[in-house]
Amino acid sequence: MPVDSRFAATDTDVIVVGAGFAGLYLAYRLSRAGYRLRVLEAAPDLGGTWYWNRYPGARVDVPSVDYMYSFDPDWQQDWQWSEKYATQPEILRYLHHVADKHDLRRHITCGTRVEQARWDEDNAVWHVCTGHDHDITARFLVMATGCLSVPKHVDIPGMERFAGEVYFTSRWPHDPVDFTGKRVAVIGTGSSGVQSIPMIARQAGRLVVFQRTPTFSVPAGNGPLPAQKLELLATDEAGYRQAARMSPAGVPMVRSQTPTFSVPAEERRQRYETAWEAGELLVLLNAFADVMSDREANEEFAEFIRGKIRAVVDDPQTASALCPTTYPVGSKRPCLDTGYYATYNLPYVRLVDVATDPIRGITETGIDTAAESFEFDALVFATGFDALTGALAAIDITGRDAVPLKDDWANGPATYLGLMTAGFPNLFLITGPGSPSVLSNMAVSIEQHVDWVVDCLTDLRAGGFEVIEPTKSAQTGWMRHVDDCAGMTLYACANSWYLGANVPGKPRVFMPYAGGVDFYRAACDEVVARDYLGFARSGSAGVRCNDGVVRRLQPDVQMLLEQMAAAGSPPLESMSADDARAFYALWRSALPPGPEVGEVVDGVLDGDGVELAYRLYRPPSAGPYPVVVYFHGGGCVLGDATTDDAFCRDLCARSDAIFISVDYRHAPETPFPAAVLDGMTAVRWAAANATELGGDPGRLAVCGWSAGGNIAAAVCQIARDAGAPEIVGQALVTPATDYDFTRKSYSDNADGYGLTTSAVRWLFGHYAREADRTDPRLAPLYAESLAGLPPAVVATAEFDPVRDEGDAYARALAAAGVATEHIRARGHTHDSLTLVGFVLSGAPVRAEIADALRRFLAAERLAIH
Ligand code: FAD
Ligand code: NAP
């Protein structure tokens, strides 16, 4: 029964392609919502992944109680998992059980491959062609075709010549395969290889494993269902499932906030050990906050795992070949195994390292490598999949203006939320590229996508719309966010299938969304809450295009702001200056420490009769070093020489310069111009004492953040006018340069991005009087001339109330002929660039600032020597 007469013109309302985990849940939700639907499945039966991958040892690598549907609260009455990690037959039985229990089979047509799908713009329908029916029409088309459903084409020459048995883990026969006493080769050591190798070794007379890249594998510790999980499920299943939905990867877990090197070596070792013993991949990579983002942190963990491999494998040469060294742990999907490494201790099992002894080809009787000829009775290919896009590319899909999807994605997939792609109206993707998909517990991600799609169809129907499509700009914004998330990780450092690197000729693009299931869900929900932001809809209700970008903040900045909002901190302007100082100091002291530097010395400088505390950071390399005098942020009211500790450490280490962070006097006790005068005092003192400090006289620069940037800019002008001391460069980070509250950034970014406009007004009110407004020492932008100032790097942040005055100063410097580098930090806030170890996306900006400082200081050295 059509729910709405507008749908009557089509054969069915919705066509779903694929009857795996996703297709089944779509059948459940769509049928319950009253849609006519057809599920078309190429395989002879339902089950998807769990239908096809029947190789010995195939299991889940996410605990069974997590890798299941959550929509059926009664499941415990008629289903029980037998072990922590269920086998393929058990999961397939489960999927059949769900299909039967909820009467889903009647929607599914098996043995039917979709070959073509064409969008008919005039009638707003999809025409779908299969091997059997030549044209089925539907308003909506949902691709539940799987991320790992199309086996990779084997690119080893001679396949057709081999006379023995050939098996693919991804297309394993239904009848049991007996390897007893046979000579067997396994090619590939990803998850499928790692799971099947120990099982094949139980039967084979001789087993040779051909390994191109070793994997990081963790013992699964399989056994009974974990008691703790069962208890949680028994007491509050709804809460447990909700925690999974709001978790980083689809299994209840709190994102680690601890940077690796913030704890001593022994504690690190214990944490690694605990992560290893847990036998859970998602726990493993959460051992520390920076395992997936910091190369050094990752390397220490990788070495811990290599130690575990060496401890199991008897032959040192084999052990060494099994230890991955060419990519960071986690950047290729790690594996979960049962007895994988110990298998290589069996006398009839041998590892051939294809990286050093490449496969030349397959012969009639076996495999030839460069160094050896092997004879086999059976070859097993565990060589992986054309992941994420393979199943979509295998269908001839054409969208608006007959544009083929393959052409549209020639340089890599582009989607909005991984759910839809511009130019292909009413085409939905389940766990498509640009969504967390394969980086998460897929069961949770599939349910979330299906729920989103079905709710969207319902909303369309309620709103009088028939067609929905993302806008190009929304899609571009989302893909930039996907790239930003990936850019904060080490994923790009491996030739993985996440990047398409396993398939020759495939564009190298990191495809999944690495920001986490929780952040992803929040984005999807926000899009709906904001009336389908980024989508154009049309139908009897007319046309509504709600263009816009859903995630403009850098992912870690967003996370920070959400944490701050959840903490519910009082606004600065509601406090006394002293309380605000105490609050600010507490917050800054709780931030992760910055990197190690050579030496940190606290001291007091005495200049012009004024004593100012300072903290000096010396690089680890040999001196003499250039010197940078640094002015902290805090609106000339808050902060001191130590509150920007991590930022100074970071810049010191990156620029190889001494950083002297100076504690200038603060308002309201000593208002303007005390801070600027102190800034000048500090610069003169540093210039006069450079040699004693281990510095190189003549190579002096200034740097400051926020109000400190304001002081740094003013000091450069005063020094220029006075003719001394010579300052060779200025680095101004989100500086205030005229406190002009009429600027647009003060209204655009007034609230919600850390520093608020009312906080800036409050700070300004403490520091200066209206009458001081045009004094260039307060508002360097008002200087009569900016000519002759030292070369500058000015970093401004997109979501900062003071952004526009920083931008204006950068423009004015350049216009005055000052060599100026202007970094516009996209998706950043006033504070975020300084939050070293917390806001990883700020690292490239800090690197640019440090590079600029290096250049300023090096240029001067060349001129001097
Ligand atoms: P699939 O299960 O892949 O189903 C897609 C279906 O679409 C297939 O049946 C296919 O035949 C059909 N199809 C494709 N193209 C067409 C077409 N043109 N016409 C008709 N039908 C078509 N994920 C986890 O989260 N945890 C795990 O432990 C885990 N283990 C895995 C183990 C293996 C061996 C593999 C290969 C993957 C594993 N995955 C795991 C990922 C797994 O793919 C997903 O968890 C999940 O099963 C995907 O479900 P799906 O319905 O989206 O896709
Ligand atoms: P995979 O991870 O891509 O592994 C394929 C292996 O074959 C790799 O070792 C690869 O080497 C090798 N290979 C490919 N072509 C080769 C060639 N021409 N010569 C030599 N070696 C070659 O594929 P997979 O093991 O099937 O796993 C894919 C994904 O499916 C997993 O990452 C996981 O997400 C999922 N999965 C999960 C489980 C589970 O535990 N539940 C089990 C199986 C699969 P290179 O690395 O050098 O390319």
In sequence order, what DSSP letters do the residues of 729-756 get, joined into one string? EEEEES--SS--TTSHHHHHTSSSSSS-
Question: Does ligand 2 come within 6 angstroms of the Cβ of 388?
Answer: no
Distance CA 45, CA 444 (A): 23
Q: Are 616 and 648 in contact (CB under 8 A)?
A: no
The pLDDT, as a whole number, for residue 636 is 97
Mean predicted lDDT score pLDDT of the chain: 95
Give, using CA atoms, the residue closest to atom 31 of ligand 1: 60
Distance CA 523, CA 529 (A): 10
pLDDT tens by residue, 332-374: 999 999 999 999 999 999 999 999 999 999 999 999 999 999 9
Question: Does ligand 2 come within 6 angstroms of the Cβ of 155?
Answer: yes
47 CA from centroid of ligand 1 (Å)? 8
Atom of ligand 1 nearest to the CA of 23: 51
457 sits in the region (left: phi over 0; alpha: psi -120 to 50; else beta) called alpha
For residue 1, the SS3 value is coil
382 CA from centroid of ligand 2 (Å)? 6
Q: Are 138 and 38 in contact (CB under 8 A)?
A: yes
Flag whether pLDDT at 611 surpasses 60.
yes
Question: Given strand 542-546, what is the order of strands in its sheet?
Answer: 467-470, 535-539, 542-546
Q: Which ligand gives the minimal distance to the CA of 213?
A: 2
pLDDT band with cut points at 50, 70 and 90 for residue 426: very high
The pLDDT, as a whole number, for residue 859 is 61
Beta strands in 363-433 (DSSP E): 366-369, 373-375, 378-381, 396-398, 427-429
For residue 606, the SS3 value is strand
Flag whether pLDDT at 130 surpasses 50.
yes
Flag whether pLDDT at 69 surpasses 50.
yes
Question: Does ligand 2 come within 6 angstroms of the Cβ of 91?
Answer: no
Q: Which ligand gives the minimal distance to the CA of 189?
A: 2
pLDDT tens by residue, 377-388: 999 999 999 999
Question: Does ligand 2 come within 6 angstroms of the Cβ of 324?
Answer: no
Q: Which ligand gives the minimal distance to the CA of 196?
A: 2
Place of tokens 């308002």: 667
Average pLDDT over residues 541-555: 94
The pLDDT, as a whole number, for residue 155 is 85
Place of tokens 């883990």: 169
Give, using CA atoms, the residue closest to atom 30 of ligand 1: 60
Phi, psi of 289 (to 5 degrees): -65, -30
The HSE-up count of residue 564 (CA atoms within 13 Å, CB side) is 21
148 CA from centroid of ligand 1 (Å)? 6
pLDDT tens by residue, 389-404: 999 999 999 999 999 9
Quick one: which of 130, 106, 109, 128 has its CA closest to 119?
128
190 CA from centroid of ligand 2 (Å)? 3
Q: Are 604 and 658 in contact (CB under 8 A)?
A: no
What whole-number percentage of the chain has pLDDT above 70?
98
260 CA from centroid of ligand 2 (Å)? 29
Q: Which ligand gives the minimal distance to the CA of 244?
A: 1
Phi, psi of 658 (to 5 degrees): -70, 135
807 CA from centroid of ligand 1 (Å)? 50
Give, using CA atoms, the residue closest to atom 52 of ligand 1: 146
Distance CA 195, CA 180 (A): 18
Question: Does ligand 2 come within 6 angstroms of the Cβ of 195?
Answer: yes
Which residues contact ligand 1 via a Cβ below 6 A? 17-23, 40-43, 48-49, 51, 53, 58, 60-62, 67, 113-114, 144-149, 192, 391, 394-395, 430-431, 441-442, 446
Atom of ligand 2 nearest to the CA of 188: 7
Place of tokens 């300004």: 764
421, two tokens: 């792609």
Strands 542-546 and 165-168: unpaired
Flag whether pLDDT at 2 surpasses 60.
no
The pLDDT, as a whole number, for residue 4 is 43
Distance CA 226, CA 63 (A): 9
Quick one: which of 235, 291, 248 has its CA closest to 514?
248
150, two tokens: 């199309």
Distance CA 308, CA 327 (A): 17
User: In the 8-state DSSP scheme, what is residue 359?
Assistant: E
| Prediction pTM value | 0.91
Distance CA 801, CA 830 (A): 8
640, two tokens: 């001191």
H helix runs in 464-596, sequence order: 472-487, 517-529, 555-567, 577-589
Give, using CA atoms, the residue closest to atom 38 of ligand 2: 191
Flag whether pLDDT at 633 surpasses 60.
yes
Quick one: which of 494, 205, 214 has its CA closest to 337?
214
381 CA from centroid of ligand 2 (Å)? 9
21 CA from centroid of ligand 1 (Å)? 7
Give, using CA atoms, the residue closest to atom 19 of ligand 2: 212
Question: Cα(first)–Cα(last) distance of the chain, in Å?
Answer: 87
Q: Which ligand gives the minimal distance to the CA of 442?
A: 1
Atom of ligand 2 nearest to the CA of 336: 40
Question: Does ligand 2 come within 6 angstroms of the Cβ of 189?
Answer: yes
Question: Does ligand 2 come within 6 angstroms of the Cβ of 196?
Answer: no
Give, using CA atoms, the residue closest to atom 24 of ligand 2: 384
Distance CA 513, CA 524 (A): 13
Distance CA 42, CA 333 (A): 27
Question: Does ligand 2 come within 6 angstroms of the Cβ of 188?
Answer: yes
Burial string for 109-122 (b: 16+ CB within 10 Å, else e) reads ebebebeebbbeee
309 CA from centroid of ligand 2 (Å)? 19
Strands 535-539 and 542-546: antiparallel
Distance CA 435, CA 442 (A): 11
By most ligand atoms within 8 Å of CB, the mutation choice from 374, 438, 502 for ligand 2 is 502
Burial string for 431-451 (b: 16+ CB within 10 Å, else e) reads bbbbbbbbbbbbbbbbbbbbb
Flag whether pLDDT at 622 surpasses 90.
no
pLDDT band with cut points at 50, 70 and 90 for residue 554: very high
Atom of ligand 2 nearest to the CA of 58: 42
Q: Are 444 and 244 in contact (CB under 8 A)?
A: yes
Give, using CA atoms, the residue closest to atom 45 of ligand 1: 442
